Amino acid sequence: MDMDDLKDRGLVLLGCGKMGSAMLEGWLAGALEPHHVWVRDPKPSDWLQGLDGLHLNQSLPDAPAMVLVAVKPQMMDDALPELRALGNGKTVFLSVAAGTAIAKYEALLGDATPVIRAMPNTPAAVGRGITALVANAKGAPSLPLAEKLLQAVGQTVRLDSEDQMDAVTAVSGSGPAYVFHMIECLAQAGEAQGLDAELALALAKATVGGAGHLAENSPKDPGQLRVDVTSPNGTTEAGLKVLMADLPDLVKRTVAAAADRSRELKG
């Protein structure tokens, strides 16, 4: 299966909320056109309704090349059974639903179903996402196509085992929300020091965005970058003494809570 096969047979999005829309927006920027895509969503956004050529809540192809499952895990039992007829080995199921194991798909769709489980994140909307993938034996041959599709919205990594997915979910899947909250907190702290709210937010957003870009592209590890910008007895050192007293443990507990919830959702 290749990209031409995907275009010929169709891509189905089961659910198109924030994550599904973020990914679809990236794909439509280059890899696909609206008429290649079928979307099943009970409450489609105005943006979806405005995409000329998109098959929105229409009858599905008999054997689409791929079904992207982007519904909430709690809705899985209701959403998948209607697609059981597609669990015949011809259609690949690519799941981005947090906490939903490959075994769940095999139980609902049949053991012959090729399943690829993926965990993207919301920066996919601006082409800066990162997606981790793992597949069952029947889905493994389609991993290159899944990677090519997902690389339209950012980087991809393959996991050694599905057991790693809960940690990935907690770090990169949920991680953007942690960073957004850091921006909020940094801006609020700037306001507390007398800055105008708009200025404080602009400084916080640019600082976090710029530092992230530098960390991603520098040959130095983040620890060395931190040392490089920290002058002895300077302002950065004074701030870091406060931050580093609590942040490492706080982040460990944050990621652990998210990973534990991912594991709970599999039950």
Answer yes or no: are the C-beta atoms of 91 and 64 closer than 8 Å.
yes
Within 13 Å of residue 171, how many CA atoms lie on the same side as its CB? 9
255 annotated binding-site participant: no
Q: 199: which 2 tokens? A: 């200025």
Backbone angles phi, psi at 228, to 5 degrees: -60, -30
Q: Is 14 annotated as a binding residue?
A: yes
Q: How distant, in Å, are the alpha carbons of 89, 97, 186, 189 from that of 75? A: 23, 10, 36, 39
Task: Establish whether 71 is an annotated binding residue.
Answer: yes
Task: Say whether 215 counts as a known binding-site residue.
Answer: no
Asked if residue 89 belongs to a known ligand binding site, the reply is no
252 annotated as a binding-site residue: no
Is 107 known to sit in a ligand binding site? no
Q: Is 68 known as a binding-site position?
A: no
| 39 touches 69 (CB < 8 A) | no
Q: Annotation-wise, does 76 bind a ligand?
A: no
Helix, strand, coil shares of the chain, percent, nearest 5, are: 60, 15, 30
Binding-site residues for NADP(+) sit at 14-19, 70-73
Binding-site residues sit at 14-19, 57, 70-73
Binding-site residues for NADPH sit at 57
